[in-house]
Amino acid sequence: MSIKKLVLFILLSIVLLGFGQSNKIEALIQKEIKEVFTLKTYTKQPIAVSDELNDILPLKITETNFFKIKSNNTFLGYYYLGHAYGKVANFDFIVIFDKDLIVSKVKILIYREDHGGEVGSKRWLKQFIGKITTDNLIYQKNIAAISGATISAKSMVNEVNKLLRTMDILNNKKQL
């Protein structure tokens, strides 16, 4: 096989694998939203944030990571698709908020490491349910530690804290 064909094959494989990953994440998101709100169908609308506001937010909001959820023209809540870091790789998670900005669900969608997967356990993630935008989460204080998943768990707590602060700012600035 020539070098050009090999490079083309590798690039095509990467592109196709990337699309498969996006479809998998989207299917997981749909499942979680339908479960939380007990729905069969819903629509999502990206939240637009100005560059000036995004500059002061702890987490950057884009048209691909933060959405308003509606069903039959009824506003239900929001979801955020985020990334946190483990020891060597990042992992994808979703946080779903109800219309009152209370955390309804946190779920690890894709975890890419051999160790630390305990961070995705339903029991540990339940600690985030009911949190509000003014809460301050502290690993080993109001969020339990996980043996064997310290880096991933701390990273998850940090990302959710940044999201809560971001939501609080957006709400106070009437952007939600």
Three-class secondary structure assignment of the chain: CCHHHHHHHHHHHHHHHHHHHHHHHHHHHHHHHHHHHCCCCCEEEECCCCHHHHHHCCCCCCCCCEEEEEECCEEEEEEEEEEEECCCCEEEEEEEEECCCCEEEEEEEECCCCCCHHHHCHHHHHHHCCCCCCCCCCECCCECCCCCCHHHHHHHHHHHHHHHHHHHHHHHCCCC
pLDDT of residue 23: 86
Least confident of 108-112, 159-163, 164-168: 108-112
The pTM score is: 0.86
pLDDT higher at 99 or 22 = 99
- Report, as an integer, the average pLDDT of 81-91: 92
Least confident of 18-27, 127-136, 139-148: 18-27
- The chain-wide mean pLDDT, for the chain, equals 89
* Digit-coded pLDDT (tens) for 2-55: 665 545 445 444 444 444 457 889 999 999 999 999 999 999 999 999 999 999
